[in-house]
Amino acid sequence: MQWILQRFEDTCKLGEALDQLGISYTWHKVVPFVGDLVPEPVVADPDRVVLFGSYSLWRYAGSKGYRPGVFKLRPFVHEQDWHPFLLNGADALFLTLQEVPEKLADEERQWFVRPVGDSKEEPGNVKTSSELIWLAEQVLLLNEAEIPNGSLRHDTRLMLTEPVQILKEWRIWVVDEQVVTWSLYKEGQRVVYRHEIDEDALEFAQHMVDVNPGYAQAYVIDVCRTGDGLKLLEANCINAAGFYAADLVKLASAIDQLGRT
């Protein structure tokens, strides 16, 4: 597999893991708004290329026909097999940003909100109805043609759910239908990065993979422990997800093996 990396703190850690494995890689910058890479990579086989860095790299990989390139995902909330396990998934409200001011005008409450798509326009967080309306109104004041890629847009679809107290949160890395590595990243209200996971949470994560086969060759899922048990928080693009305390040697090795099959 040919590895193309955009330099960030996390990808530097990935580079160190690739060094340990004796796997070569190259560093590149992304030209803002254009999306080209500098220097332009010299690709030996477009069917054996993977890119790690910002989520916007999927456009470059797609334009060049690189495979696997960036592992794009369907919105996790559309995956019917995961619905019984989603955190508040059954009670979710789905609105475009354009619909928010009218739909939330008469009810002041707190929401956990995140975009339905995997494009990271807005990180998952808790907002009140009035805060969401204010955010939507600021975006709606903008001319859509002037909104840069990767930013909230008039038609960005949001998933709104009731906030739930979360006791622990883990990020799980999945490659070729198998959990490869994991990291604790939140304990109560404290952000903590440790390479550990409760045994039942690890079993739950693999079960999430097993009940929804063929979702993607590689992806990450976030799972959490609540007072009502283990839940699936979300799925994210593996190429742009934070690594926290994952075992990057195992992860890099598993992804590199995809290019050998």
- Tell me: the pLDDT tens digits for 214-257? 999 999 999 999 998 999 999 999 999 999 999 999 999 999 99
Which of 85-99, 177-191, 209-223 has the lowest average pLDDT? 85-99
C-alpha to C-alpha distance for 100 and 137, rounded to whole angstroms: 9
- Name the percent of the chain lying above pLDDT 70: 96
Domain boundaries defined on the chain: 2-69, 88-161, 164-236
**164-236 has which fold?**
D-amino Acid Aminotransferase; Chain A, domain 1 (3.30.470)
> Nearest-CA neighbor of 232 among 190, 204, 213?
204
CA distance 122 to 162: 17
Measured at the alpha carbon of residue 29, what is the angle toward residues 26 and 33, in degrees to the nearest 5?
145
The pLDDT score that the predictor gives to residue 33 is 73
Residue 93, pLDDT above cutoff 90: no
More confident residue, 32 or 133: 133
Looking at the predicted structure, is the pLDDT value of residue 18 above 70? yes
Output DSSP code: residue 97. T
**pLDDT, tens only, 117-167:** 766 566 778 899 999 999 999 999 998 888 877 788 899 989 888 888 899
Residue 229 CB contacts under 8 Å (≥ 6 apart), including other chains: none
Please report the pLDDT score of residue 163 as a whole number: 82
> For the segment 165-187, what is each residue's pLDDT rounded down to a tens digit?
899 999 999 999 999 999 999 99
Q: pTM for the whole thing?
A: 0.83
For residue 238, what are its two tokens? 């593996």
Residues 226, 228, 229, 231, Cα dihedral to 10°: -70
Helical H segments across the chain, by residue range: 9-21, 57-64, 100-103, 129-140, 199-211, 248-258
Look up tokens 């949160």; give the residue. 169
Cα 221 to chain center, whole Å?
8
**Residue 147: predicted pLDDT:** 81
Average pLDDT of the chain? 92
* Contact present, 69 and 214 (Cβ < 8 Å): no
